[in-house]
């Protein structure tokens, strides 16, 4: 009986470990994507938290960017630049970001056109 219970507990722990690894990988492990900042800067708006309440003293620029990875795969993501005095992204500039399946993990950061892989650059310039 003890052996059966031990096997069940071990199987449960392996299952939890597998699910935990999957969650971590999908949420925090990103792939490099590239985008071109649109020419038009979005309107500066008050920052809103996850509950929908306005955060006093903070404002945001919310961009809808089309990101492309080195394989040419495209994903659209909202990018929020927020703070007490946020600076909008430079129009027509190239940016890079680390994007996981669920979120932008790191970025956006400015890069030069020469740093973008050829296949991604073709998709960006369409």
Contact 79, 109 (CB under 8 A): no
* pLDDT grade for 126, boundaries at 50, 70 and 90: low
Using CA atoms, how far apart are residues 42 and 52, in angstroms rounded to an integer? Answer: 20
29 pLDDT exceeds 70? yes
Using CA atoms, how far apart are residues 8 and 120, in angstroms rounded to an integer? Answer: 48
pTM, whole model, 2 decimals?
0.84
Contact 98, 27 (CB under 8 A): no
Could you tell me where the beta strands, DSSP code E, fall in the chain? 31-36, 45-48, 54-69, 74-83, 94-99, 104-111
65 pLDDT exceeds 80? yes
Q: Which residues contact 14 (CB under 8 A, 6 or more apart)?
A: none
Q: In the chain, what percentage of residues exceed pLDDT 90?
A: 83
């Amino acid at each position: 009986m003890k052996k059966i219970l031990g096997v069940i507990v071990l199987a449960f722990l392996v299952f939890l470990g597998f699910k935990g690894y999957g969650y971590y990988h999908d949420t925090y492990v990103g792939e490099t994507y590239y985008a071109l900042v649109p020419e038009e800067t979005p309107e500066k708006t008050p920052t809103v938290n996850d509950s929908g309440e306005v955060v006093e003293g903070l404002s945001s620029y919310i961009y809808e960017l089309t990101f492309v990875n080195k394989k040419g795969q495209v994903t659209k993501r909202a990018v929020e630049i927020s703070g007490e005095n946020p600076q909008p992204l430079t129009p027509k500039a190239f940016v890079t970001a680390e994007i996981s399946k669920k979120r932008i993990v790191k970025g956006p950061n400015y890069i030069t056109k020469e740093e973008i892989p050829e296949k991604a650059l073709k998709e960006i310039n369409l």
